[in-house]
Structure 1
Amino acid sequence: MDKLASRLRIGEKIGLGFALVGLLFVGVVWQYHQTLQSVLGDYHQLQGFELRKSLALEIEIELAAVRDAEKSFLIERRETFAGEVDQRLQTLLGKIAALAAVDQDSRQTAASLQELVTTYQQSFEAVAGAWRIMGLDENSGLQGAFRENVHRLQELSAAYNVDRLYTLLLQIRRSEKDLALRQDAAYRERVRKLLGELRQLLETSELQAAVRQQLLAELATYARTFEPYAERALKSGNIDGGKGPFRDAAHHIEAILTAYHVPNLETSVLQMRRREKDFLLRGDDSYPPMVVAIARSIRAQIAESALSDADKTLLTGLLHDYERDFLALVAQTSSIATLTREMNSAADRVAPLVKQNVDQANQVMASRVAEIDQSSQESARASLLLMSCAIVLSVVLALAITARIVRPVRQMAGLLDGLAYGRPSDHVPTISGGRDEINSMGESLNALVDHRTTFLRWWKESMDEVSARRELLGASTDEEKDEAMQDLRRATIARLQQLNAIRGRLLRHGEQVIEVAQRLQSAPGSLTAEDAKSLEHAAEGIATLFEVLAMEQVPAGDSAATPGAAPPAASG
């Protein structure tokens, strides 16, 4: 760690410290951003739940509008309501498509809703088509077809309804015979009165115009020829057996009425229409068999009548067409009932599905709110923990980087204090090759301490040698000379040791110079600031040591001139 720290300059250390602290706070900001993104995602999710509920409510409202338009169509059977149903269904499908875009659960619900609405739409279109075939009103479709036939049949049945005419004719004939039997003028008046009623009834009847004119002509003949017969019968009682032109005219009238008489035809047709109306009104399946039975009876009446084959064919054809269209209408009604049940079934399944979607959204929303509340608390705790850790790490980093800067400075301050007021023996810990300015200051200070120590030791040892030489020169006895020689020998040995130490330091500086030179040879022109500084320090160290060695020349010369001194080779 110390070696790594020494490779960095002070500015780089401070910048690295700020960068690490910045990275810590970037991590805090990133975690805050992630938390914010999570909160926004939760908010959008909750908003999606509300959107699901809102769309579900809109779907219910639109479905109710569709059902209202459908009921209006079924009641009034107007094309405008069918168009409104189709328009509402398109809007409803649009709402369902919007629901499908909310989330996955809504997409599944929307798929089921779309299937049901499509089924409902197809069923309604089938019902509307069936009603168009059946007839949206009494003049269209099957209703219009059988009504047209039955109205024509009803008109013809009125034309063949001669029961009243035939009854009046029989009453006239009875009064005619009563006149012949009793010769009472009241019967002549009765015949006249009945003739007037028959004439009036013929004129207002619905018989064919040609038949009506023929009957009126025969009736006029009967009235004209009856008067002479009645006059003779009243005056002379001569009735001639009740025969005469009037009798032939009456027979002609009776024959014509018989040829156009179908008993109770109009009544049967009206009875058949009554059962038809009952079915259309109530939809009861018991009425169609009644209509069929009455039609069969009418067919039998026509077949047994004295009508011409052409008239019988016309009447039975109209009756057959009516019966065919009515039975087709009955079948269509049954089909409409089935299709309506299918349509209602599809519509009835939409509402529970929408309610299920709302309930599911409420449940998921409540669960999600609880999860969001819990995750929010956890995120808040995590944010506080991360912020606390970031602050602690920032303080630790600041202290570590500050300690790496302050501790060497404090050591150098102590060393400088020792240089100023004492004799320092310690060195500032340094790392060779470090780029740290404080490390360089420490190396320089250590070199200063070493040089000072070298000079001081050199000066002390030189003074000891000078003192020993003086004592040797001033010795008067052999013992004093021996003791002075011992002191001189010790001083000389100490200087030799110091010279060896200086030589070792010179060798180290030389090796450093050689190392830098080799790097320059391997990469010419790539002299770095560190290499230049190393060369400078090595050169200065060599120069300083040479100055120490240069000072050796003075004591060495003195010793050579002094009697009893050690030879120069011994001091070198």
Structure 2
Amino acid sequence: MDKLASRLRIGEKIGLGFALVGLLFVGVVWQYHQTLQSVLGDYHQLQGFELRKSLALEIEIELAAVRDAEKSFLIERRETFAGEVDQRLQTLLGKIAALAAVDQDSRQTAASLQELVTTYQQSFEAVAGAWRIMGLDENSGLQGAFRENVHRLQELSAAYNVDRLYTLLLQIRRSEKDLALRQDAAYRERVRKLLGELRQLLETSELQAAVRQQLLAELATYARTFEPYAERALKSGNIDGGKGPFRDAAHHIEAILTAYHVPNLETSVLQMRRREKDFLLRGDDSYPPMVVAIARSIRAQIAESALSDADKTLLTGLLHDYERDFLALVAQTSSIATLTREMNSAADRVAPLVKQNVDQANQVMASRVAEIDQSSQESARASLLLMSCAIVLSVVLALAITARIVRPVRQMAGLLDGLAYGRPSDHVPTISGGRDEINSMGESLNALVDHRTTFLRWWKESMDEVSARRELLGASTDEEKDEAMQDLRRATIARLQQLNAIRGRLLRHGEQVIEVAQRLQSAPGSLTAEDAKSLEHAAEGIATLFEVLAMEQVPADDSAAMPGAAPPAASG
């Protein structure tokens, strides 16, 4: 770690420190951004759930509007309501398509809804078509067809309803005979009154015009010829057997009425219409057989009547057409009921499916809200932990960089104090080849300490040697000479050790120069500032050591000048 730190300059360390702190806070910002993206994603997902619920509610509302329009069509049977159903179904399908675009679950639900709504739409179109065939009102479709036939049949049955006319005719003939038997004027008045009623009834009857005119003419003949007969019967009682023109006219009227008389025809037709109305009102399947039975009875009455073949054919043809159209209407009603059940079944399955979609959305949303709450708490804790780690690491990194700078400075300050006030023996820890300015300052200060120590030791040892030589020259006894020789030997040995140390330092400086030279040979022209500075320091160190060696000559000269001095000891 120290070696790696020494490779960096102070500015690079500070820049690296800021870069690391920046990376830490970039990591914090990135984690915050990820958290924010997660929160936004969760928000959009919750918004999708709300959209699902909103669309489901709109689908329910639109479906209710479709069913209202459908019921209005079935009740009032107007094309405007059928058009409204189609329009609202298109809107409903659009909302289902919007639901399919929300998410995968909604897409599956929307597919089922679209299938059911399409089935409902087809069923409604079939019901509407069936009602158009049946008749949207009483004048269209099958209803219009059989109604027209039965109205024509009713008109004809009224034309053949001569029961009242025939009754009045019989009452006239009875009063006529009572007059002949009793010769009472009250019976003549009764005949006159009945003739007036018969005339009025004929004039207001629904008989064919030609038949009505013929009957009125015969009735007029009867009334005109009856008066002389009645006068004779009251005066003389001569009735001639009750014969005369009035009797022939009465027979003619009776023959005409008999030719256009079908007993209870109009009543039977009305009974048939009653059962028809009962079926249309209640939809009970027991009424169509009743209608068929009454129609069969009417057909038999017509066949047994004295009507002409042409009139019989007309009446039975109208009855047959009515019966055919009514039975077709019954079959169409059954088909409409079946189609309506299918339509209702499809519609009834839509609402539970929509409710299921809403319930599913609520459940998923509740689960997702719980997950989001838990993940939010975890994200908050992770963010807090990451921020705390970033702050702690930033502080630790700042302290580490500061310590890397301050500790060597303090060591150098202590070493400088030693240089100023004492004899320093320690060195500032440095790393060879380091690019750190503090490391370079430490190397320079260590070199200064080494040079000072070398000078001081060299000077002391030189002085010790000079003193030993002087003591040797001044010794008068053998004992003093032996002691002086020992001091001189120790001084000489110290000088040799000092020279060996200088030799080692010169070798290190030489190796440093050789190393720079090798780098220059491998990359000519690429001398760096560090290499130049290294060469400068090596040259200065060599020069300093040579200066120390040059001082060797001073004490040697002094010792040679002393009388009887011994020659200087050879170094090495």
Asked if these proteins are the same fold (TM beyond 0.5), I'd say yes
Contact 2:138 2:144 in 1 (8 A): yes
1:321/1:568 Cα in 2 relative to 1: closer, same or farther (>3 Å)?
A: farther
SS of structure 1 residue aligned to 2:570: helix
Whole-Å separation in 1 of the counterparts to 2:331 and 2:568: 149
Contact 1:117 1:350 in 2 (8 A): yes
Q: CA deviation at 1:560?
A: 5.4
Q: CA deviation at 1:76?
A: 2.0
Q: CA deviation at 1:182?
A: 4.2
Contact 2:295 2:323 in 1 (8 A): yes
1:193/1:502 Cα in 2 relative to 1: closer, same or farther (>3 Å)?
A: same
Q: CA deviation at 1:111?
A: 3.2
Q: CA deviation at 1:348?
A: 2.8
1:434/1:566 Cα in 2 relative to 1: closer, same or farther (>3 Å)?
A: farther
Contact 1:9 1:435 in 2 (8 A): yes
Q: CA deviation at 1:269?
A: 0.8
Q: CA deviation at 1:5?
A: 1.0
The more displaced of 491-500 and 316-325 is 491-500
Contact 2:408 2:442 in 1 (8 A): yes
1:112/1:258 Cα in 2 relative to 1: closer, same or farther (>3 Å)?
A: same
Q: CA deviation at 1:558?
A: 4.6
Q: CA deviation at 1:280?
A: 1.5
Q: CA deviation at 1:91?
A: 3.1
Q: CA deviation at 1:31?
A: 2.5
- Once the two structures are superposed, what CA deviation does each residue of 1:112-163 show, in whole Å capped at 9, x if it has no partner? 3333333333333322222222222212222111111111111111111122
- Once the two structures are superposed, what CA deviation does each residue of 1:362-388 show, in whole Å capped at 9, x if it has no partner? 333333333333333333333333333
The more displaced of 227-236 and 503-512 is 227-236
Whole-Å separation in 2 of the counterparts to 1:565 and 1:89: 135
Structure 1 gaps of 5+ residues are none
Whole-Å separation in 2 of the counterparts to 1:566 and 1:147: 167
Q: CA deviation at 1:481?
A: 4.2
Question: How does 1:9-158 map onto structure 2 within 5 Å?
Answer: 9-158=9-158
1:566/1:225 Cα in 2 relative to 1: closer, same or farther (>3 Å)?
A: farther
Q: CA deviation at 1:563?
A: 6.0
Contact 2:62 2:92 in 1 (8 A): yes
1:24/1:446 Cα in 2 relative to 1: closer, same or farther (>3 Å)?
A: same
**Alignment-derived partner of residue 513 in structure 2:** 513
Whole-Å separation in 1 of the counterparts to 2:528 and 2:292: 123
Whole-Å separation in 1 of the counterparts to 2:309 and 2:250: 25
Contact 1:199 1:216 in 2 (8 A): yes
Contact 2:146 2:325 in 1 (8 A): yes
- Once the two structures are superposed, what CA deviation does each residue of 1:177-216 show, in whole Å capped at 9, x if it has no partner? 4444444444443333333222222221111112222222
**Alignment-derived partner of residue 281 in structure 1:** 281
The more displaced of 471-480 and 410-419 is 471-480
Whole-Å separation in 1 of the counterparts to 2:518 and 2:564: 49
Contact 2:470 2:565 in 1 (8 A): no
Whole-Å separation in 1 of the counterparts to 2:279 and 2:457: 142
**Alignment-derived partner of residue 290 in structure 2:** 290
**Alignment-derived partner of residue 236 in structure 1:** 236
- Once the two structures are superposed, what CA deviation does each residue of 1:63-85 show, in whole Å capped at 9, x if it has no partner? 33333332222222222222333
The more displaced of 140-149 and 356-365 is 356-365
Whole-Å separation in 2 of the counterparts to 1:533 and 1:114: 86
Q: CA deviation at 1:225?
A: 3.5
Q: CA deviation at 1:263?
A: 1.3
- Once the two structures are superposed, what CA deviation does each residue of 1:384-418 show, in whole Å capped at 9, x if it has no partner? 33333222222222222222222222222222222
Contact 2:123 2:340 in 1 (8 A): yes
1:325/1:564 Cα in 2 relative to 1: closer, same or farther (>3 Å)?
A: farther
Contact 2:299 2:316 in 1 (8 A): yes
Contact 1:55 1:99 in 2 (8 A): yes
1:67/1:102 Cα in 2 relative to 1: closer, same or farther (>3 Å)?
A: same
1:571/1:156 Cα in 2 relative to 1: closer, same or farther (>3 Å)?
A: same
The more displaced of 382-391 and 511-520 is 382-391
Whole-Å separation in 2 of the counterparts to 1:232 and 1:278: 59
Whole-Å separation in 2 of the counterparts to 1:325 and 1:4: 109
SS of structure 1 residue aligned to 2:569: helix
Whole-Å separation in 2 of the counterparts to 1:386 and 1:322: 92
TM-score by length of structure 1 reads 0.92
Q: Kindly tell me the number of residue pairs found equivalent between the two proteins.
A: 572
Q: CA deviation at 1:443?
A: 1.2
Q: CA deviation at 1:267?
A: 0.9
Q: CA deviation at 1:436?
A: 0.9
Q: CA deviation at 1:45?
A: 3.4
Whole-Å separation in 1 of the counterparts to 2:485 and 2:24: 73
- Once the two structures are superposed, what CA deviation does each residue of 1:35-66 show, in whole Å capped at 9, x if it has no partner? 33333333333344333333333333333333
SS of structure 2 residue aligned to 1:359: helix
**Alignment-derived partner of residue 310 in structure 2:** 310
Whole-Å separation in 1 of the counterparts to 2:450 and 2:312: 153
Contact 1:556 1:571 in 2 (8 A): no
Structure 2 gaps of 5+ residues are none
Contact 1:138 1:147 in 2 (8 A): yes
- Once the two structures are superposed, what CA deviation does each residue of 1:96-116 show, in whole Å capped at 9, x if it has no partner? 333334433333333333333
SS of structure 1 residue aligned to 2:83: helix
Q: CA deviation at 1:249?
A: 3.0
Contact 2:275 2:290 in 1 (8 A): yes
Q: CA deviation at 1:569?
A: 8.5
Q: CA deviation at 1:559?
A: 5.0
Contact 2:409 2:438 in 1 (8 A): yes
Q: CA RMSD in A?
A: 2.6
The more displaced of 142-151 and 393-402 is 393-402
The more displaced of 163-172 and 31-40 is 31-40
Q: CA deviation at 1:328?
A: 1.7
**Alignment-derived partner of residue 197 in structure 1:** 197
**Alignment-derived partner of residue 319 in structure 2:** 319
Q: CA deviation at 1:536?
A: 1.4
Whole-Å separation in 1 of the counterparts to 2:302 and 2:556: 175
Whole-Å separation in 2 of the counterparts to 1:321 and 1:502: 145
Contact 2:492 2:569 in 1 (8 A): no
